[in-house]
Amino acid sequence: MSDGIERGADGLGRCWWAASAADYAAYHDREWGRPVADDFRLFEKLTLEGFQSGLSWLTILRKRDNFRAAFAGFDFHRIARFGKRDVARLMADAGIVRHRGKIEAALSNARAACRLLEKEGSIASFVWRYEPGPAERPARLTRSVLTGLTWSPASKALAKDLRARGFSFVGPTTAYAFMQAMGLVNDHLHGCDAREAVERERARFRRPR
């Protein structure tokens, strides 16, 4: 197999990190790297990447439905109106990650998202400006390349812009994980069966303007 590719019982070759659990494999196959233009889904992905900091993504993935219930489906208009009682409710919710700083950041980021929407027209049109060109991407993605790719000039610029607009818990590394998750980059390894499917989807995808 290619560097970093694990073949599952179903015969599909996947990026090595997806081989440890069935729900990880499903996320890898159906969601990771596929382009997203829906503002609520983008806010969800950005928020969950912030909660993931210091934890495994599998932990967050397995709590995602609980997060969706607790955070009003990641409708940032509704979250922006959350107050102290909501913070207390969230801190008491064992189904999510009970980290006060991350919870308060999610509420603050929802208010920042509302301002961004008012100014830019959509979260998606803002985020997709940071899609890197081919010259900024590795010529070939292997496990060794990807494990060293924790941020990029584009993720650094995106994080800086988000922070300038009032977002918190979003540095270059979190921004890069967000870019990977929502399809701003295709970081499926060469040799992964999902890579070409994602590339086809990206080719069909209409970039928000």
57 is catalytic: yes
Cα–Cα distances in Å, from 120 out to 20, 39, 124? 40, 12, 9
151 is catalytic: no
Q: What is the pLDDT of residues 107-128, one digit of tens each?
A: 999 999 999 999 999 999 999 9
pLDDT at 3 over 90: no
- Catalytic: which of 16, 27, 31, 151? 27
Give the domain ranges of the chain.
5-204
The single-letter DSSP state of residue 15 is: E
pLDDT at 1 over 80: no
Q: What is the pLDDT of residues 28-67, one digit of tens each?
A: 999 999 999 999 999 999 999 999 988 999 999 999 999 9
- Catalytic: which of 32, 49, 128, 130? 49
Band (pLDDT 50/70/90 cuts) for residue 9 is confident
Closest CA to 66 of 96, 102, 30: 96
Band (pLDDT 50/70/90 cuts) for residue 2 is low
176 is catalytic: no
Architecture of domain 5-204: Orthogonal Bundle (1.10)
- Catalytic: which of 16, 57, 104, 201? 57
Phi, then psi, of 6 in degrees rounded to 5 = -115, 130
Q: Is 51 helix (H, G, I), strand (E, B) or coil?
A: helix
Statement: the pTM of the whole predicted model exceeds 0.85? yes
